[in-house]
Amino acid sequence: QSPDEALAALANQTLSTGPGGESPVSPSEINLTDDELAEIKAMGATAAIVMHYGGDDWSQAQINGLQTQFAAMGIEVIATTDAGFNSAKQVSDIETIMAQNPDIIVSIPTDPTATASAYRQAAEAGVKLVFMDNVPAGFTAGTDYISVVSADNYGNGVASAHLMAKALDGEGQIGIVYHAADFFVTRQRYDAFKATIEQNYPDIEIVAEQGIGGPDFTGDADRAASAMMVGNAGIDGIWAVWDVPAEGVISAARANGRDDLVITTIDLGENVAIDMARGGFVKGLGAQRPFDQGVTEAKLAGFGLLGKDAPAYVALPALPVEKDNLLDAWQAVYSTEAPATVRDSMN
């Protein structure tokens, strides 16, 4: 199987399975009728968005999607919080929000165990919970929460691996810059990338791995990638766990004069898009669809309000992005046209 074939196969399948092993449902199946919409509008419901980390385009697009869809459903967003990867802060955020008795909370847990009791309180207070990507420990779909919408992080990890292999023609030395914390989403990407490379591409050797801890993920990645290039002169490619660290890897490659370095990553941020458009270091990335994901989550929250049966696990397929499909991919990811900065860089 060539990388291209593998990528084509990916487009129509979702590799992740739900927390309870549920097989994924496509977001196209999540729909509200006009009557239902009117019913929801009449409720005057309120919602809160509780994020794990707000510092990247992915989070913003997700919030955008949620806000857009909630507005369409006549639901007021009364609070938005950012825990900066800190579970204690997230628990506080949930508690604080509970003072306002929201009807809906859409959230991504930083840590499935640490935040469980706070979500449990919310669930017991009758709040409709919709999760992104991951679910607190011990929660069962249908009773404790409505549904979880996943971006198929595993699938994206696989996609970025195939893209790497494609750009390297299936052989070479690569390095990995991963997130040095046991965080569900980034861990899935890492596992997927590594497994895909190891199983499918025996001629690609992983010669260096380096974790980064933040909060300055760009700088951390810059230092890590620089050291990889110094320590392994023959390194051909570096994978970064999301676009913000990837920018650090770009900067390191530039500084070290490694114009031939191949970078693949996950998440379609503006900067990596520009680099890709210019024919720079970023040869490919696996994109999530945060805007659609947000829209889907908002709709599922509506299911909850109506008491309508919702699928336990909804997943959006991974979207492999290369220079060829960059502009279309942008449209798919953000529901807007790619900005001029990206379009102009295409030539």
**Does position 98 bind other proteins by CB under 8 A?**
yes
Q: State which of residues 9, 11, 71, 230 lies at the interface with other proteins (CB under 8 A).
A: 230
For helices 270-277 and 243-255, the axis angle rounded to 10 degrees is 50
**Does position 256 bind other proteins by CB under 8 A?**
yes
Q: Which stretch binds other proteins (CB under 8 A): 35-43, 248-256, 301-309, 313-321?
A: 248-256
How many CB atoms neighbour CB 256 within 10 A? 14
* Two tokens, residue 45: 């419901």
**Does position 133 bind other proteins by CB under 8 A?**
no
- Alpha helix ranges (H) inside the chain: 3-10, 34-43, 57-72, 87-98, 116-124, 153-167, 184-200, 217-231, 243-255, 270-277, 290-306, 326-334, 340-345
The footprint of other proteins on this chain (CB under 8 A) covers a number of residues equal to: 75
**Does position 9 bind other proteins by CB under 8 A?**
no
Q: Which stretch binds other proteins (CB under 8 A): 54-62, 143-151, 284-292, 301-309?
A: 54-62
**Does position 97 bind other proteins by CB under 8 A?**
yes
Looking at the Cβ atoms of 68 and 271, the one nearer to other proteins is 271
Looking at the Cβ atoms of 1 and 96, the one nearer to other proteins is 96
**Does position 106 bind other proteins by CB under 8 A?**
no
Site for other proteins in 155-214 (CB under 8 A): 180-182, 208, 210-213
**Does position 248 bind other proteins by CB under 8 A?**
yes
Distance CA 290, CA 292 (A): 6
Q: Smallest gap, in angstroms, from Cβ of residue 53 to other proteins?
A: 10
Looking at the Cβ atoms of 28 and 113, the one nearer to other proteins is 113
Site for other proteins in 108-127 (CB under 8 A): 110-117
SS (H, E, C) 161-206: HHHHHHHCCCCEEEEEEEECCCCHHHHHHHHHHHHHHHHHCCCEEE
* Two tokens, residue 71: 């507005």
Looking at the Cβ atoms of 181 and 332, the one nearer to other proteins is 181
Backbone conformation region of residue 218, classed left if phi is above 0, alpha if psi is from -120 to 50, else beta = alpha
* Two tokens, residue 46: 């309120």
Looking at the Cβ atoms of 29 and 182, the one nearer to other proteins is 182
Q: Which stretch binds other proteins (CB under 8 A): 164-172, 255-263, 294-302, 309-317?
A: 255-263
* Distances 193 to 56, 79, 197 between C-alpha atoms, Å: 21, 35, 6
β-bridge partners, 212: 179
φ, ψ at 35 (rounded to 5°): -60, -45
Looking at the Cβ atoms of 41 and 343, the one nearer to other proteins is 343
Q: Smallest gap, in angstroms, from Cβ of residue 6 to other proteins?
A: 30
Site for other proteins in 267-296 (CB under 8 A): 269-271, 274
**Does position 95 bind other proteins by CB under 8 A?**
yes
**Does position 62 bind other proteins by CB under 8 A?**
no
**Does position 54 bind other proteins by CB under 8 A?**
yes
**Does position 130 bind other proteins by CB under 8 A?**
no
φ, ψ at 284 (rounded to 5°): -170, 160
β-bridge partners, 176: 209, 239
Looking at the Cβ atoms of 167 and 224, the one nearer to other proteins is 224
Of 307, 302, 290, 333, residue with least CA distance to 71: 302
Of 154, 167, 157, 153, residue with least CA distance to 282: 167
**Does position 260 bind other proteins by CB under 8 A?**
no
**Does position 332 bind other proteins by CB under 8 A?**
no
Looking at the Cβ atoms of 25 and 93, the one nearer to other proteins is 93
Distance CA 56, CA 290 (A): 11
**Does position 85 bind other proteins by CB under 8 A?**
yes
Specify the DSSP element, H or E, that contains 320: strand 319-321
Q: Smallest gap, in angstroms, from Cβ of residue 82 to other proteins?
A: 4
